[in-house]
Structure 1
Amino acid sequence: MSDLPKCVEFHEEGPREGFQIEPRIYPLTQRAALVEALAETGLKAVQVASFVSPKAVPQMADTEALFAAIKRRPGVRYEAVWLNEQGFHRASATPGVDLSGKISLYTSDAFAKRNNNCTAAEMRDRVLRWLDLYSEAGLTIDRALVMTAFGCNYEGEIAPERPVAELVWAHRACAERGIRLPKVYLADTMGWANPQSVRRLVGMVRDALPDTRVGLHLHDTRGLGPANVLAALEMGVDLFDSSVAGLGGCPFAGHGDSRGAGNICTEDMVFLCHEMGIETGIDLEKLIEAARLAERIIGRPLSGRIMHAGSLSTYRMRRAA
């Protein structure tokens, strides 16, 4: 266990991941309140919404208005997602969006076509265009993420060499333009990862890109999310995407149910870290309250555990008294 990180950073994606998958559109004031509650917890970044086609994802049709409604907290980044140039230009024109360059790659042609209307190879060509666009806009590149890194519901098993090759290509493409790529992410978009595959793939990426920070975007589709986080922590991974109350799921992932499954649950994973003596900079009790707010907004029980059971702090204070 000597490789455990001293501190872990969680990047909150619930407001975007969660509400994009829901069949109904929730009031803007409620979604803004959730973003504000999350910003009070010590999280460094909150992914608010996406700039995508309102025809494809009507739940995100009012993204500009949502950013305008949020009361911002200093020191917190309020981020967004875009899939094409039109979305990027909308984000650039929206006050309050904290912009940075992000590039995405695929291991699966089938999923790439559903999510971005292109093949994995065509996505590489688009990434080169994105690098030029970001440079023209004066943006630094924050991360490269490879989706379906562990497996795909449409194509099955994904050989670990494929996501490694995509990230190495992204690193090289950036280097050729004099751009430093600080972070790479492995995305378990459809819940195929297990602890063994997490350890193997993280190790392979570290060997290929030894000076690059490795993060994970994990879904808890089949119940292995927490086990995969623990495996990653034991490999020294200190960067995770997560979703308050376990909200979320990709609408194009091809899960058997209509909503898919959410990301790893932020408050549950923060609890895990704290119990293991790993700092997060997050106030767990405030985060639990934000998760309960998310559940009240959604209007049904959500998958988070700690939000229902409570943390151990109350019991420890009772014993101390």
Structure 2
Amino acid sequence: MSDLPRRIHIHEEGPREGFQIEPGPIASADKVRFIEMLADTGLTEIQCVSFVNPRRVPTMADAEEVAGAIRQRDGVHYTGLWLNQRGLLRALQTPLHTEGYVRTSGSDAFSLSNNGRSVEESLQEQRATLDYCIEHNIPLSGGIVTTAFGCNLEGEIPAARVVERVAQLLDFVESYGLQLPILRLADTVGWANPNSVATLLGALREKWPELRLGLHLHDTRGTAMANALIGLQFGIDTFDSSCAGLGGCPFAGHKGAAGNICTEDLAFMCAEMGIETGVDLDALAECARYAEELVGHPLPGKLMRGGTLTRWRVQ
């Protein structure tokens, strides 16, 4: 347990990853209010929207409207997801904080489903985008490996294949004279378990001990918190999460693609372990209840119902 981080950074993705899979419309003003509530909790990075084809993700059709309406709080990075240069150019026209990033996938089948490109084709397409970022002084924020542990379309993803894909991605970035500030490993469709997380983190740490890693965990099969604990024990200090456990990937290949690990539940566990998060748990629980009101159905977050232990400890 000696590798536990003193503090973790939470990258909140509820407004983007959370709402993208919802079938019903959510008013733009309600999305904005949710984002502003999240910013009041102490979170310092919030992914607000995605600049993708609205025909494929209808709930993100109002991305520009939402991005332009947010009353931004000092000290908070408000970002948007983009998958190609067209999306990047849209993002740059908004007040959001826009940075470059690179991606690869453990699964060719998922890459085709999510991006319409194979892994190799996607990497080649990213050359033009990275060229644009360098030309316009847009910083490279990091990279991500989607379906790093398994894929509903392709099955188990061996750690050795992910190591190969990471090597390919690092070579790609280094060919531009750049380095990745962080590489996120995404359990996009919920295949990871504590053993597979430990195996992959161990393999990557052995080959690139100085490479900073983060985790993007989904709770599709109820293993996200256990997987996060393994990450913490490996010293991982950056996690993508979603308030109330909102959302999921619409291209996962099945309807039960649960959202990211729940922000407030993760923050509560860390607080109980003595790991700082910088967030107000009660305020996060209030955000979770509001999210549940917006989507109109129960969400999987636990803290918004169980509460913290504070009042029990002061009795």
Tell me by how many angstroms 1:137 deviates: 2.1
Tell me by how many angstroms 1:128 deviates: 2.5
Separation in structure 2 between the aligned mates of residue 72 and residue 124 of structure 1, nearest angstrom? 33
Tell me by how many angstroms 1:44 deviates: 1.1
The corresponding residue for 1:267 is 264
The corresponding residue for 1:315 is 312
Tell me by how many angstroms 1:77 deviates: 0.5
The corresponding residue for 1:283 is 280
The corresponding residue for 1:17 is 17
Q: Is the 8 A contact 2:84 2:129 kept in 1?
A: no
| Unaligned ranges ≥5, structure 2 | none
* Count of residues in correspondence between the two structures: 315
The corresponding residue for 2:60 is 60
The corresponding residue for 1:89 is 89
Q: Is the 8 A contact 1:144 1:167 kept in 2?
A: no
| Unaligned ranges ≥5, structure 1 | none
The corresponding residue for 2:186 is 187
The corresponding residue for 2:34 is 34
Q: Deviations 1:9-49 (Å, cap 9, x if unpaired)? A: 11000000111100011011111010001001111100000
Q: Is the 8 A contact 1:103 1:130 kept in 2?
A: no
User: Matched residue of 1:216: which SS?
Assistant: strand
The corresponding residue for 2:4 is 4
The corresponding residue for 1:241 is 240
The corresponding residue for 2:175 is 176
- How much identity, in percent, do the aligned residues show? 49
**Which letter does structure 2 place at the counterpart of 1:211?**
E
**RMSD over aligned Cα atoms:** 1.1
Q: Deviations 1:49-104 (Å, cap 9, x if unpaired)? A: 0011111111111111101111110000000011121111111112x110111111
Question: What TM-score does the superposition give when structure 1 sets the normalisation length?
Answer: 0.96
Aligned with 2:296 (options 284, 288, 299): 299
**Which letter does structure 1 place at the counterpart of 2:226?**
A
Tell me by how many angstroms 1:106 deviates: 1.2
Tell me by how many angstroms 1:141 deviates: 0.9
Q: Deviations 1:198-229 (Å, cap 9, x if unpaired)? A: 11111111122222210010000000011000
**Which letter does structure 2 place at the counterpart of 1:134?**
C
Instruction: Map 1:181-260 onto structure 2 (within 5 A).
Output: 181-257=180-256, 260=257
User: Which stretches of structure 1, 4 residues or more, deviate above 3 A after TM superposition?
Assistant: none
Separation in structure 1 between the aligned mates of residue 180 and residue 230 of structure 2, nearest angstrom? 25
Instruction: Map 1:128-207 onto structure 2 (within 5 A).
Output: 128-207=127-206
User: Matched residue of 2:73: which SS?
Assistant: coil
User: Matched residue of 1:74: which SS?
Assistant: coil
Q: Is the 8 A contact 1:14 1:242 kept in 2?
A: yes
Q: Is the 8 A contact 2:79 2:96 kept in 1?
A: yes
Tell me by how many angstroms 1:172 deviates: 1.9
Tell me by how many angstroms 1:273 deviates: 0.1
Separation in structure 2 between the aligned mates of residue 86 and residue 161 of structure 1, nearest angstrom? 33
Separation in structure 2 between the aligned mates of residue 212 and residue 142 of structure 1, nearest angstrom? 14
Separation in structure 1 between the aligned mates of residue 111 and residue 3 of structure 2, nearest angstrom? 35
